[in-house]
């Protein structure tokens, strides 16, 4: 039987270093919000495969749906011999679309593919080429995904030049000194200095930035973007790859603002751990591409579609929208209590809708100077104590909490206790 130490050595010899892994821990099995490594150690999972496991590891309904589909067929390629699960899932998502009017949905395999297809569709529908994204955004590691991503290290380093006609504006984060007015002013400057609005096909935004630090886009900013797009014939794209499927207390995070996008990129928790992504869009936009212009060999794999249909059932039957809100309130209340302690590393800016919670680690209480080193000490201490925890943010000082929405109160509280202990341990190590 393999052990963590053995696998670390084998990994270094077999896998390129560009595929980074933050911890020397290798999974053996998992259930709901818990996992066990190959050495038998138990962990509480506050990462959820980076927002993939909103319904938890191996949800029984998802597993049953997958097993049933495995007994029928696993692949035909929808563009060769189509099948009902693809159509059924598209129908379900069209009914859930966060905009009025007829919707259509197409499927691919990864979030980056979903984003790229949003760009393709926007260009096809508008006859324009330029796309605007935001600083701090993460939209994938493909060439267009990297171009749209608003962070150079590590995502763009050594991989240039990036595709042309992609522009960035600052994302409004008050704690970072960028207001909504600042961001809108920057867009005005962009239109005057670099790209006229009549040449812009789309503006793409994460309703809550993921890798950028779990900062929600202010509702007033999304409203202003919608008006800007309407005024200039630009399409608004919501990247819901990390925010979708109940994580924020809504099926899609943009619903909190009341703003209706034209296209929505989805992936991650859509299929409960199986690789599936897609684009949900207004029918006229989705039909802008000619036959054969969209698709992919594995896109909308029948096993993944079966899993996704089960995920949507679980979200409805187990009331995970309401669960996300309740879980989020419980987590934020605990974090506020922890923030008042003097024996933990200073934390601030506790934020996030539903159960998409983030907070920042800083050097001094009452001030905002990011502390990336302390953040790393926290995640390391958490892992040592049996808690899988992820950091993020443009300053590498944000902690994000992505515990499965199906986790019990006992598991959630145990995980929060381990997080609190890690914040104490990180403070002691700095003393």
**pLDDT tens digits along 158-174:** 998 999 999 999 999 99
Provide CB contacts within 8 A for 179, sequence distance 6+. Answer: 172
Structural domains in the chain plus CATH codes:
4-55+319-430 (3.90.1150.10), 63-317 (3.40.640.10)
**Tell me: the pLDDT tens digits for 263-299?**
999 999 999 999 999 999 999 999 999 999 999 999 9
Distance CA 349, CA 360 (A): 6
Mean pLDDT across 231-251: 98
Residue 315 reports pLDDT greater than 80? yes
User: What are the distances in angstroms from CA 379 to CA 99, 375, 391, 398?
Assistant: 39, 6, 7, 11
Question: Where do we find the tokens 């109160």?
Answer: 409
Q: Are 211 and 392 in contact (CB under 8 A)?
A: yes
CA distance 169 to 379: 31
- The predicted model gives 66-76 an average pLDDT of 98
Question: How many alpha carbons lie under 13 Å from residue 213 in its C-beta half-sphere?
Answer: 29
> Is a pLDDT exceeding 90 seen at residue 430?
no
State yes or no: pLDDT of 228 exceeds 70: yes
The reported pLDDT for the residue numbered 382 is 98
| Mean pLDDT within 84-108 | 98
Q: What percent of the chain is modeled with pLDDT above 90?
A: 96
34: region left, alpha or beta (phi > 0 left; psi from -120 to 50 alpha):
beta
Task: Supply the angle between the helices 302-317 and 60-70 in degrees, to the nearest 10.
Answer: 150
Please give the average per-residue pLDDT across 310-336, as a whole number: 98
Cβ neighbors of 408 (< 8 A, separation 6 or more) are 32, 33
Region 107-130: mean pLDDT is 98
pLDDT range class, residue 389, cuts 50, 70, 90: very high
Identify the pLDDT of residue 418.
98
pLDDT of residue 21: 87
Q: Which residues pair with 130 in a beta bridge?
A: 200
CB 218 within 8 A of CB 224: no
Looking at residues 71-99, what average pLDDT do you find? 98
Q: Is the pLDDT of residue 47 over 80?
A: yes
CA of residue 22 relative to chain centroid, distance: 18
Residue 429 confidence (pLDDT): 87
Confidence of residue 431 (pLDDT cuts 50, 70, 90): low
Q: Is the pLDDT of residue 133 over 70?
A: yes
For the residues 114-123, what does the mean pLDDT come to? 98
pLDDT given for residue 22 in this prediction: 84
């Amino acid at each position: 039987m393999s052990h963590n130490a053995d696998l670390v050595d084998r990994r270094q010899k077999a896998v390129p270093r560009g595929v980074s892994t933050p911890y020397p821990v290798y999974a053996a099995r998992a259930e709901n919000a818990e996992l066990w490594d190959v050495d038998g150690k138990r962990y509480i999972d506050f990462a959820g495969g980076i927002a993939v496991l909103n319904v938890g590891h191996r949800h029984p309904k998802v597993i049953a749906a997958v097993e049933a589909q495995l007994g029928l067929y696993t692949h035909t390629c929808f563009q060769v011999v189509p099948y009902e699960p693809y159509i059924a899932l598209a129908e379900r998502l069209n009914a859930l679309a966060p905009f009025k009017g007829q919707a259509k949905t197409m499927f691919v395999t990864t979030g980056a593919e979903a984003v790229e297809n949003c760009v393709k569709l926007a260009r096809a529908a508008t006859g324009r080429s330029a796309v605007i994204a935001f600083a701090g955004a993460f939209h994938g590691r493909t060439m267009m995904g990297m171009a749209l991503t608003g962070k150079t290290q590590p995502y763009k380093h050594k991989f240039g030049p990036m595709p042309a006609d992609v522009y960035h504006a600052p994302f409004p984060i008050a704690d970072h000194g960028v207001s909504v007015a600042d961001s809108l002013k920057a867009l005005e400057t962009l239109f005057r200095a670099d790209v006229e609005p009549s040449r812009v096909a789309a503006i793409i935004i994460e309703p809550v930035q993921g890798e950028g630090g779990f900062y929600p886009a202010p509702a007033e900013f999304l409203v202003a973007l919608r008006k800007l797009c309407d005024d200039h014939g630009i399409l608004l794209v919501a990247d819901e790859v990390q925010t979708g499927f109940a994580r924020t207390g809504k099926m899609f995070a943009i619903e909190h603002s009341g703003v209706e996008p034209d296209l929505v990129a989805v992936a991650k928790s859509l299929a409960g751990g199986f690789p599936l992504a897609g684009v949900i869009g207004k029918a006229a936009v989705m039909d802008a591409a000619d036959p054969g212009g969209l698709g992919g060999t594995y896109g909308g794999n029948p096993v993944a579609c079966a899993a996704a249909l089960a995920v949507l059932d679980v979200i409805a039957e187990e009331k995970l929208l309401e669960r996300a809100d309740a879980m989020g309130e419980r987590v934020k209340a605990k974090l506020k209590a922890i923030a008042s302690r003097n024996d933990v590393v200073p934390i601030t800016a506790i934020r996030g809708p539903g159960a998409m919670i983030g907070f920042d680690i800083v050097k001094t209480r009452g001030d905002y100077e990011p502390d990336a080193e302390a953040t790393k000490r926290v995640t390391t201490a958490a892992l040592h104590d049996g808690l899988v925890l992820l950091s993020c943010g443009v300053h590498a000082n944000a902690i994000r909490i992505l515990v499965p929405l199906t986790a019990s109160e006992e598991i959630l509280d145990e995980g929060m206790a381990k997080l609190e202990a890690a914040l104490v341990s990180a403070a002691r190590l700095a003393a």
